[in-house]
Amino acid sequence: MKNNLKGRHFLTTQDWSVEELEQVFALAAKLKKAKKEGRPTPLLRNKTLYMIFFDASTRTRNSFETGMTQLGGHGIYLSPDKMQISHGENARDTAKVLSRYGEGIAIRHCAYGAGNAYLREVAANAGVPVINMQCDVYHPCQILADYLTIREKFKTTRGLKIGVAWTSAPNYVRPLSVPQSLILLMPRFGLNVTLAYPPEFRLMPEIEEQARKNAKGAGVKFEISHRFEDAFENADVVIPKSWGPLVTTRDTGEGLRLIEKYPSWRCDRERMALGHKRVIYMHPLPADRGREVTDEVIDGPQSVVYDEAENRLHVQKALMALTL
C-alpha cells in the first residue's frame, strides 16, 4: 500500500493535494470491497483513536468507532463534560497527554468562531495525527464520502454540475461547514458548482473566494445565485441542505426568524425535474423531512443518501489507516 501520509493532520481537504486525496479514495474502495467480501483488514491493530465530541452525532461517532474496530484498533469516545476540559484544561495540555497514550486524536467542535481554532491548537501541540470530525468551518470527512459516492455513480466526474443549495429547516442554526467543504473540494475534481442561497445566508467570504480560485485552477465553473432553482437546472448532483445565517448574524433568535423567511426553499419533485434525467439527490443527514426535502424525493429512486452515509465508514477507515 503506497503511503506518504503517515503522521499527517487532516483538518481540511485544502491542506492535501488531489494526488494525496486520491490515495484515500483508492484505499477506501479496497476496504469497501474487503468488507463486502468479509475479509478482515487489521491495518491498525492495537492502535487507539481518541474521539472528542463537543457536539453529538450519529453517523460521525458510529462510522469512526466502527471503522477503528474493523481496522483492528480501538476508538475511545470522549466528551468535554467527562474530561478536564470542563474544568478549564486547555487544548495544549489535552493534546500533549493524549499523544502520549494513543496514535490519533479526532475532534468534532462546531461552535462558530471556536471549533476550528481549537482543532488547530490541538494539532499544533499534538505528537499524533489530528482528524477533523467537523468544525465550524469544515467537514472534510463528509465531503470525502460525498465525492466517493458521486464517483461511484458517474465513474468520471469532470464536467458534471453539482448544485449546493440552502434549504429552510427550523429549530436550530446549523453550521456552515458542509456547504463550505463542498464548494472547496468539488471544483478540484472537475465538477462545476452552483451555490444557491438567500442573501442573508452567504458563506464565509474567504471560503467563497478560495472556491473561486479552486475552480479557476481546475478550469471549471463556480457560480453563486440567490435563486433556488439555479442549483437544480441541468444538474447531475444536487445537495440541498440547511445552514445558518452566521455570517449575517450571531443572534440565534434573529437567525431562526431569517430561516422562517424562506419556507419555499425546499427540495421537491418539481425542483428535481429541473436537473438531468440522471440527477441524484444527496444529503449528509439528518434531513428535516417536510421542510428541507419531501419524502417523495429522499425516499425516491434519485436519492443516494444511504450510500453516501455508508461511504463515511469507508473513507474514514482509509484516512485513519493512512495517517495513523
Q: φ, ψ for residue 105 (rounded to 5)?
A: -130, 130
Share of the chain above pLDDT 90, in %: 98
pLDDT confidence bin for 191, thresholds 50/70/90: very high
Report residue 197 as a C-alpha cell.
442561497
Give the model confidence (pLDDT) of 143-158 as tens digits. Answer: 999 999 999 999 999 9
Q: Which helix (H) or strand (E) covers residue 277, if one does? A: none
155-165 average pLDDT score? 97
Q: In sequence order, what are the beta bridge partners of 74?
A: 48
Terminal Cα-to-Cα distance of the chain (whole angstroms): 14
Cα separations in angstroms, 252 against 109, 169, 248, 310: 18, 14, 11, 32
Section 177-193 average pLDDT: 98
User: pLDDT digit string (tens) for 22-58?
Assistant: 999 999 999 999 999 999 999 999 999 999 999 989 9
> What is the residue-averaged pLDDT of the chain?
97
Per CATH, 13-139+312-323 and 142-308 having the same topology is answered yes
What's the rounded Cα separation, in Å, for the pair 23 and 10?
14
| Residue spans per domain, the chain | 13-139+312-323, 142-308
Q: How much is the average pLDDT of 281-286?
A: 97
**CATH 3.40.50.300 correct for 13-139+312-323:** no
What CATH topology corresponds to 142-308?
A: Rossmann fold (3.40.50)
**Partners of 288 in the beta sheet?**
none
Residue 244, SS3 per DSSP? coil
Q: Taking 70 as the threshold, does the pLDDT of residue 2 lie above it?
A: no
Residue-level pLDDT at 252? 94
The region that residue 229 occupies, defined by phi over 0 for left and psi between -120 and 50 for alpha, beta otherwise, is alpha
Question: How confident is the model over 197-249, as pLDDT tens digits?
Answer: 999 999 999 999 999 999 999 999 999 999 999 999 999 999 999 999 999 99
Full-model pTM:
0.97
DSSP per-residue string spanning 76-123: EEE-GGGSGGGGT--HHHHHHHHHHH-SEEEEEE--TTTHHHHHHHHH
